[in-house]
Each structure stands twice: as structure tokens, then as C-alpha cells.
């Protein structure tokens, strides 16, 4: 039985109920919510910019990505390559001496950026190699830490796989031949590194997490719209069925992390846990410095839930405070050229810690991969008219 206080259990139940209600919302409506640009208020600098897509270059980013997809997937799985698009980005930083509701000043984006840098002292390529017209100087890879939560953690680790593939190559970027060095480190929270939902933790950790049993957009009767089902139809909005275990889609199944920068993982006792643990243990076995923290009985994204659900107020939980301090410390240590002690620890809900072997966090890569492959083999293409969700 869970030992969580009732207010925490109630919060998890409330969040799960809201996510369940999203099964009646078309995917295009969900997408629109991500395009809202909220007003900036309070002690924050936000400088908006765009990193333009490079011109058609035969040895540019798209060519490199295509080669990485083929090589890392072992020739398995096919996908449609999208075009390289201009990336809208934000420089963000602390703006001291400002009240919570004070609006952002009416100055140019460049002036905001200069103020941000003064206080703080396509994206990775554009950071390292600014395109023409950019108002930032080149940022050395040794000062960059890849960080993200949930699907953002997936993207950080997938990009790392591309960089590992490209270590000895160069590419054209805005007509200049450039290299792609690895970042100083990787620090991720609640990494969701599997799409099949077939790993053991998806069942065993269900009582503690906010997610229901299946993807909402595959449910019978899920409302169709202009973007889902796709044209031509496929089995998941993220990719074709044949790509579901590709390491750029599901980094849990990457064969090699050898040569990767130091990594910090943290998460709750959540349904995606085994996917993060599989990547962490594989990297540790291959000589990568890996620190893994699991917070007993905590749900997905527990330290930052109020960013999505303002009423959650989870940032004051003792586990949240500890996790955020550790996350900040990891980024700081990596950015200064250091590493953390390799190992794994469970932060117990009633206090205390339990050490784990970071190279043995799951039932084993072979067993987990087989479970995912079996699930993938039975996956159905979504047409908007299917009668049942594939079994879990």
C-alpha cells in the first residue's frame, strides 16, 4: 500500500483523471495549445529569435540525419524524411529586482538578449556556429548541457546518439564546414524513452503514476481531425510502426553509448522508469559516468508538475526540492567540466536512501527488448475506425 500522504495521492488521481478526459480532445486541438505564446511577466528575461534553416546542402544536417537513421537502426525501419525548418527559439534567464507581475520591457529582442547575458554571464548547431545575422557569439560545446524532461529527455538523448554517430565527420551548415562536438553533459528528468508501453515498470508502477494504461490517440472512438489519423495512416503520431524501437525514437534501445558525456538521470517510481533505467545501465556498462536517482512513490515529472497544472504545487514537496537541487548541481558540475559519482540511489519516501548497482537496474536488456519487439509486432495502423487498442 502506498505510504504517500492523502493530498499527494489525491493529486495523482486528479491529474490522471484530467489526462483521461483528454481522450475526447482531437490531436490538432492539443497541438494548438503548444503554439500559445504567453505574456512574459516577473523576474525573467525572454529574448525571442529564429535560427534559419540552411539552404539545400547535400552534406548538410538532413543528409547527416538520414545516414544516422540508417546506421543506428541497422537498416531496419523506414521513415519519411521531413524538410529542415527554421527553428523559433528563446533565450531565457533571470531578471533581478523585478516584481512577479511586472511586464517585460518594451525593448528589442537583441536588447533583451544582451541584458540576459549580462545577468547570466535547428538549436545546437546554431549555438556552436551562429548563422548570419545571429546576435549571439559561438557557444563552446564544453559549456552546453543537454537537459529536458519526459519527451524532452528523449530528444536530448536521441540527439546525443546522432552526435556520437557524427563524431568523426563534418557537415555543411550555412555554407561553412563545421564539426559536431558532444556537449559537456546530459541531465534529464522522468525520461520517456519507449513508445510501446510494454516494459515491466509500465504495469508495476501504475499505482504511483499519472498515466492511464494506453495512448489516448489510439483509443476506440478517439476524435479524428486534419492531422490524425495521418495521411497515409501510421501506428503512432511520432513515427511509423517499423521505427518504434529505433534509437532516435526510443533511446532506451540504443546499442551503444560509448564515448558519451557524463549523464544524470532522475525520476519517480513511474511507468516509464524502465526505459530510462535501460539507457542508464547500458551507458554505465560502456564506461560512461552515470548517476541515477529514483524517488520512491513519486509520479512522472513530480518536481515540475505545477508548470502544467498550476494547482499541483508539488515544488514544495521534500522530494521535489531535493531533486531540483540535484538537477541544478548536475548541470553546474557538467558545465564546469566535472562529473558526478557513478552510481544509483533510491530516495525512500519515508526518508533515507538505498544504493543500487547502476549497471543492473532492470531485468536485462535482452528481456526488455523482447517484450517491446513482441508489442511492436502486434501494433496496428490507426485509421480512426479501429475497434480495439492493442493489448498491453
At 63-114, the pLDDT tens digits run 888 888 888 986 566 677 778 888 888 888 888 888 888 988 887 877 776 6
Q: Which residues pair with 148 in a beta bridge?
A: 188
Phi, psi (deg, nearest 5) at residue 389: -80, 145
Residue 59 above 80 pLDDT? no
Residue 133 above 90 pLDDT? no
Query: pTM above the 0.95 mark?
Result: no
Q: What pLDDT score does 75 carry?
A: 56
All three cell numbers of 44, joined, read: 525573467
Overall average pLDDT of the 132-148 stretch? 91
**First-to-last C-alpha distance (Å) of the chain:** 23
All three cell numbers of 96, joined, read: 533581478
294's CB contacts (< 8 A; 6+ apart) are: 266, 267, 268, 269, 273, 344, 345, 346, 347, 356
pLDDT tier for residue 193 given thresholds of 50, 70 and 90: very high
Phi, psi (deg, nearest 5) at residue 372: -65, -40
What are 31-42's pLDDT values in tens digits?
A: 888 888 878 889
With a pLDDT cut of 70, the percent of the chain lying above it is: 93
* Residue of higher predicted confidence among 330 and 62: 330
Q: What pLDDT score does 121 carry?
A: 42
Overall average pLDDT of the 117-136 stretch? 76
Q: Across the chain, what does the average pLDDT equal?
A: 89
**Rounded CA gap, 15 and 28, in Å?**
21
pLDDT tier for residue 204 given thresholds of 50, 70 and 90: very high
What are 240-280's pLDDT values in tens digits?
A: 899 999 999 999 999 999 999 999 999 999 999 999 999 99
18's CB contacts (< 8 A; 6+ apart) are: 309
Phi, psi (deg, nearest 5) at residue 182: -75, 155
- For 281, what's the count of Cα atoms within 13 Å in the CB-facing half-sphere? 20
Q: What pLDDT score does 392 carry?
A: 31
Overall average pLDDT of the 325-350 stretch? 96
Residue 307 above 90 pLDDT? no
Residue 134 above 50 pLDDT? yes
Residues of the chain by 3-state class (helix, strand, coil), percent to 5: 35, 15, 50
Q: What pLDDT score does 389 carry?
A: 38
**Rounded CA gap, 351 and 174, in Å?**
53
Phi, psi (deg, nearest 5) at residue 250: -130, 85
The alpha carbon of 292 is separated from its chain's Cα centroid by a whole number of angstroms, namely 16
Q: What pLDDT score does 225 carry?
A: 93
The pairing of strands 343-347 and 185-189 is unpaired
Nearest to 66 by CA among 48, 79, 56: 79
Residue 341 above 80 pLDDT? yes
The alpha carbon of 248 is separated from its chain's Cα centroid by a whole number of angstroms, namely 12
Q: Which residues pair with 294 in a beta bridge?
A: 267, 346
* Residue of higher predicted confidence among 46 and 123: 46
Angle 105-108-110 from CA coordinates, rounded to 5°: 120
**Rounded CA gap, 268 and 209, in Å?**
8
All three cell numbers of 165, joined, read: 554517430
Residue 342 above 80 pLDDT? yes
Q: Which residues pair with 266 in a beta bridge?
A: 189, 293
**Rounded CA gap, 284 and 286, in Å?**
5
Query: What SS3 state is found at 123?
Result: coil
Residue 146 above 90 pLDDT? yes
Q: What pLDDT score does 2 carry?
A: 52
Residue 147 above 90 pLDDT? yes
Residue 178 above 80 pLDDT? yes
Residue 328 above 50 pLDDT? yes
Overall average pLDDT of the 1-23 stretch? 81
Amino acid at each position: 500500500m502506498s505510504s504517500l500522504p492523502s493530498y499527494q495521492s489525491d493529486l495523482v488521481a486528479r491529474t490522471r483523471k484530467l489526462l483521461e478526459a483528454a481522450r475526447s480532445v482531437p490531436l490538432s486541438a492539443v497541438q494548438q495549445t503548444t503554439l500559445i505564446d504567453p505574456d512574459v511577466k516577473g523576474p525573467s528575461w525572454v529574448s525571442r529569435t529564429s535560427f534559419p534553416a540552411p539552404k539545400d546542402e547535400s552534406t548538410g544536417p538532413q543528409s547527416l540525419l538520414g545516414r544516422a537513421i540508417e546506421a543506428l537502426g541497422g537498416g531496419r525501419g523506414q521513415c519519411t524524411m521531413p524538410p529542415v525548418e527554421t527553428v523559433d527559439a528563446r533565450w531565457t534567464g533571470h531578471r533581478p529586482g523585478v516584481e512577479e507581475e511586472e511586464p517585460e520591457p518594451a525593448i528589442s529582442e537583441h536588447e533583451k538578449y544582451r541584458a540576459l547575458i549580462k545577468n547570466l554571464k535547428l538549436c545546437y548547431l546554431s549555438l556552436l556556429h551562429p548563422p548570419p545575422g545571429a546576435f549571439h557569439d559561438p557557444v563552446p560545446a564544453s559549456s552546453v548541457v543537454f537537459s529536458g524532461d519526459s519527451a524532452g529527455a528523449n530528444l536530448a538523448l536521441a540527439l546525443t546518439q546522432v552526435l556520437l554517430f557524427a563524431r568523426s565527420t563534418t557537415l555543411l551548415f550555412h555554407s561553412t564546414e563545421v564539426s559536431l562536438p558532444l556537449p559537456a553533459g546530459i541531465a534529464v528528468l522522468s525520461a520517456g524513452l519507449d513508445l510501446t508501453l510494454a516494459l515491466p515498470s509500465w504495469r508495476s508502477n501504475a499505482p504511483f503514476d499519472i498515466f492511464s494504461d494506453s495512448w489516448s490517440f489510439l483509443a476506440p472512438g478517439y476524435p479524428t481531425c486534419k492531422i490524425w489519423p495521418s495521411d497515409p495512416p501510421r501506428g503512432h503520431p511520432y513515427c511509423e510502426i517499423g521505427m518504434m524501437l529505433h534509437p532516435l525514437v526510443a533511446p532506451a534501445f540504443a546499442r551503444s553509448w560509448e564515448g558519451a558525456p557524463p549523464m544524470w538521470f532522475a525520476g519517480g517510481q513511474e511507468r516509464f522508469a524502465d526505459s530510462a533505467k535501460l539507457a542508464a545501465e547500458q551507458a554505465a556498462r560502456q564506461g560512461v559516468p552515470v548517476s541515477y536517482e529514483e524517488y520512491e512513490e513519486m509520479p512522472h515529472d513530480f518536481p515540475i508538475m505545477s508548470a502544467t497544472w498550476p494547482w499541483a504545487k508539488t515544488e514544495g514537496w521534500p522530494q521535489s526540492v531535493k531533486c531540483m537541487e540535484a538537477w541544478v548541481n548536475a548541470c553546474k558540475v557538467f558545465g564546469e567540466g566535472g562529473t558526478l559519482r557513478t552510481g544509483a540511489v533510491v530516495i525512500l519516501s519515508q526518508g533515507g536512501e538505498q544504493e543500487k548497482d547502476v549497471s543492473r537496474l532492470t531485468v536485462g536488456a535482452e528481456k526488455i527488448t523482447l517484450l517491446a519487439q513482441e508489442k511492436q509486432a502486434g501494433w496496428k495502423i490507426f485509421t480512426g475506425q479501429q475497434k480495439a487498442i492493442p493489448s498491453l
